[in-house]
Chains A and B, each alone.
Chain A
Amino acid sequence: MRFLSILFLTLALTTVALAGDWPQWRGPTGDGRSDETAFPTTWSDTENVKWKVPLPGAGNSSPIVWKDKVILTASTGREHTTLHVLCYDRATGKQQWDTTFFASPAPAPFSRFPPERGHAAPSAATDGKVVVALFGSGDLVGLDLDGRLKWFRSLATEYGPFRNEYGVSSSPVLHDGTAFVQIDHDAESYLLAVDAATGKTRWRTRRAAEDGWATPLVVDVGGKPQVVCLGTKKAIFYDAASGKEVWTLDGFERLCSVTPLVRDNVLYATSGPRGEVFAIDLSTASEDKTPKVLWRSKKIGPFIPSPVLVGKFLLVPDDQGTVTCLDAATGKELWKERAGGRARPSPVVAGDVVYLTGLDGTTTVFKAGAEFEPVGKNKLGEEVAASPALAYGCIFIRGDKHLWCIGK
């Protein structure tokens, strides 16, 4: 019996994210926040660089971290027809594996598309049993932690090529053994739930949505998980078990790219560009009762970066590096500060320290409180479009050409 207990405990430990893991887009709690606090606040391209490795290909996907592994995706070739899921040793940066795939045939040559960094914009996700990666070519793959293929889906073949003017950036999200994939494009849009272990479809719900780039978020409503999807003027909540639409909230902009976040039963959903931020109370909602909108902000929403919540302060970045701080309880604007330059990456936060990385690779570090308190600016000297990952005391940054580990 004791043996069994130890066995179960061991099994549980092998599949549960450790405190330091950053297992998917926006981190362990889906809001860009790490529970750790001891991360470097100053660095340069030589100072506080634990390691730096060249990347074999292009991509905007952010790194994820699981125990000793740092995992990210890339695509290579003139037409970006080779897809990569890459794994590096967290301590040394040594490549552990690089599993490659043929991309599903594109409806048009890649060179005619504007995405600067290939088919690898969505970030991978892992629960320690499987790594799920989505590519803009319409390919969804499941690998084990050693990089071995468990399953391969060509969503482009099954449901039609991804027709999105700027490529696909919505990341798969793993929750309780299911991978949720939101595909909003100029053909039939859908939310897909896949059994992460086998790759088989649990359900697929069609969405009346046009092209979009938001990553879904799984929230708990009255003990039941629901998947929130932003896109095309609406926030729609789906029952995670069946895919059935539960609620719809209107008032959003057509283009909603940012990832919502939830804290203490309040969902903060940002509509943009130049849309409002909605604070939505999930605590009183039920299947029959639409959640109550607590407040709506002024029209400050960005196109790309997602907000973070620091204590009672909601920080909403825009695409030009300006951060607006809202009182999370009321939506009242507390301060607005030009913190950095043009931004694609979303900010991440540890304690009350915020890391806001600009497209030019400069990360502005500041403390968020009733006032903006700058800590420093750190230049990598390399363009950065992906969001940093905070894990095990280090900051992992995917640059245009390199993967950087900032730490000691």
Chain B
Amino acid sequence: MKFKWTVFVLILHGTVVLIGQTTRAGDPQEDAIQHLLAVGPDAAGADKAQKAVDTLVAAGPKALLAILAAIPADDVVKANWLRVAFTRIVDDAIREKKPFPADELLSFVNDKTKLGRSRRLALEAVERVTPGTTAKVIDAGLNDPEFGADAVAARMDKAAAVEKADPAAAAKLYREAFDAARDFNQCLALAQRLKALDVAVDPLARLGVIRDWMVLGPFDDPNEKGYATAFAPEKAIDLTATYAGKDGKVAWKRFTSDAPDGRIDLLKAIGPHDAAVAYAYTVVTCPKDQDVELRASGDDNLAVWVNGTKVIDHPTYRSHLRIDWHRAKVKLKAGENTILVKVCQCPAPKEKLPGPPAKWEFHLRVVDPEGRGVSLPVAVPAPKK
């Protein structure tokens, strides 16, 4: 008897599972999402995707959370087809006053494990039906990976509004924001505000900017071949050596940036040359093996070697300095790590063009995988006398 019941339960379970699978496999909503996840480069799958969007729109607001959950982190084409379906459903629901899962969407917004851009999309939808939600989410989001920068900006606005009447309260707000900020501009702006209120902070250390370097140059680069030419520092670093430079002998010398953003002005460090090549060298010390990202930029071009391996290679002359423009994931080892930078300056134009005078500079910082600055002790070796 017991055996028979067991068989019955197993058959029933199997039937339920089978029904469940049949339902999932034939679920138009799920199928539509799969069509949107099947789009690819060169507009592949776009025709089927158009129909899939219509299917999801017909399903209405009940499809919203499934769409959000399906948005991938690493494929903007797939993400956008899902976004389009999501937005059309929200538009329809608001226009036709359909029931709207605002609470569930808000829970999604507040779940930091979810994808940032999906959370932001959900927040935009909730804001449309419950105005004021965005301000609350941002106010609470100082350390939120998606809304953190917005929260810092909101704190800054709040602090600025009370700064005159209550400087201590403003300083507290600015400090809270500074301690949470990862954005380069925000850190600098906050440090400036705090300095005005007699609170000293070091934004460049917080941002992982390397200011201390040995510099060498100029080497001659009359026809823009200098970037491709391996001058002596690319073969071996010898801080005591002198080399034949553009206008005579050149030797390594120390330079520390005093620029507010920590850029190295080679016109100051080496001199007002054009058609020239410069090198900069430093050593950073890590307490342990560490995965970091190097963020750098140069004017004109830029090459960066870490421990002898080229990690950034941007050969284009006449580039401008854009902080964080070039990035490289690097594994630093425990102990000393060397960084070598090469920057060229193109020949001056025959005719003066409109605009500011030419610059010759670079900027380099180290951040952790989440984008927070890594302040590493810099031990610039002094050349032996």
Contacts and interface: CB of A to CB of B under 8 A. Distances in A.
Interface of A: 78, 81, 99-105, 107-109, 111-114, 139, 142, 148-154, 157-158, 165, 186, 198-201, 210, 273-274, 303, 319
Contact of A153 (B77, B117, B316): B77
B177 to A, nearest CB: 14
6 contacts: A78-B153, A81-B117, A101-B83, A101-B84, A150-B46, A153-B41
B83 to A, nearest CB: 6
A83 to B, nearest CB: 9
B41 A149 contact: no
Interface string B268-296: 00000000000000000000000000010
Nearest to B82: A102
A158 B40 CA distance: 10
B46 A152 contact: yes
A150 B45 CA distance: 10
B81 interface: yes
A87 B41 CA distance: 27
Contacts of B314: 186
Contact of B316 (A81, A101, A210): A210
A149 B80 contact: yes
Nearest to B185: A111
A198 B42 CA distance: 9
Nearest 8 CB-CB pairs, A to B? A199-B43, A151-B43, A151-B46, A186-B316, A108-B324, A108-B325, A149-B84, A104-B76
B354 to A, nearest CB: 6
A151 B47 CA distance: 8
Given A107-B327, A111-B185, A152 B42 contact: no
Interface in B305-345: 314, 316, 318-320, 322-327
A78 B149 contact: yes
Given A157-B76, A165-B322, A108 B153 contact: no
B150 A149 contact: no
A112 B185 CA distance: 8
A202 to B, nearest CB: 11
Given A78-B150, A152-B80, A158 B41 contact: yes
A100 B76 CA distance: 13
A165 B320 contact: yes
B43 A113 contact: no
A150 B47 CA distance: 7
A195 B77 CA distance: 18
Contacts, number: 102
B43 A200 contact: yes
Contacts of B83: 100-102
A100 B323 CA distance: 28
Interface in B61-112: 75-77, 79-81, 83-84, 87-88
B202 interface: no
A341 B149 CA distance: 37
B322 A200 contact: no
Contacts of B75: 157
B77 A154 contact: yes
Interface in B162-205: 183-185
A210 B317 CA distance: 10
B27 interface: no
Given A142-B43, A152-B80, A274-B351, 7 more contacts: A109-B184, A111-B184, A113-B322, A148-B53, A149-B50, A186-B319, A198-B43
Contacts of B228: none
A183 to B, nearest CB: 15
Nearest to A153: B43
A152 B53 CA distance: 13
Looking at A102, A165, A198, A303, the one whose CB has the most chain B CB atoms below 10 A away is A102
Contacts of A186: 314, 316, 319
B236 interface: no
Contacts of B184: 109, 111-112
A257 B53 CA distance: 39
Contacts of A149: 49-50, 53, 80-81, 84
A158 B42 CA distance: 8
Contacts of A274: 351, 353-354
A107 B184 CA distance: 15
A198 B46 contact: yes
Nearest to B314: A186
A94 to B, nearest CB: 14
A200 B84 contact: no
Contacts of A165: 319-320, 322
Given A101-B80, A112-B184, A153 B327 contact: no
Nearest to B43: A199
B76 A273 contact: no
A328 to B, nearest CB: 26
Nearest to A299: B351
Nearest to A253: B353
A157 B80 CA distance: 13
Given A102-B117, A108-B325, A273-B353, A154 B47 contact: no
Nearest to B353: A273
A252 to B, nearest CB: 15
A102 B353 CA distance: 37
B150 A198 contact: no
B322 A112 contact: yes
A78 B120 CA distance: 12
Contact of B50 (A100, A104, A150): A150
A105 B153 CA distance: 22
Looking at A112, A158, A273, the one whose CB has the most chain B CB atoms below 10 A away is A112
A198 B39 CA distance: 13
Contacts of A108: 295, 322-327
Nearest to A158: B41
Given A81-B117, A102-B117, A200-B42, A112 B76 contact: no
